[in-house]
Amino acid sequence: MPLIRRCFAVDLHDDPERIAAYRKWHEPGGPPAAVNTAIRADGVESLEIWWAGDRLFMVMEQDPARAPDPETKRARDTADPDVAAWDALMAGFQKSLPFAPNQTWVELDRIYSLGEQP
């Protein structure tokens, strides 16, 4: 089964010091090993976060056969103290997009593909 590409966006609090700290946390070795393990357990083969100003974009390639349903993922992440602590730490840097209150990492809908164009 081919991998699926999923893309997400979230904003950061517009504070240069907080943004620098967030970027530092994402350097190699920054996230706890349990976080990387949990991501890989969800069938994620690659994941990148891109930054512009106070906005982040996440692009990931995921094996749909190994992707848990959202409730299973939420329960598994909540039960892992390292993953839960990471999520809480990152939540302090992130803010909801204007159209999605109380939500982070909003999944994007693809509206264009050059490969589908004549």
List active site positions.
13
Unique residue bearing structure tokens 């070795």: 29
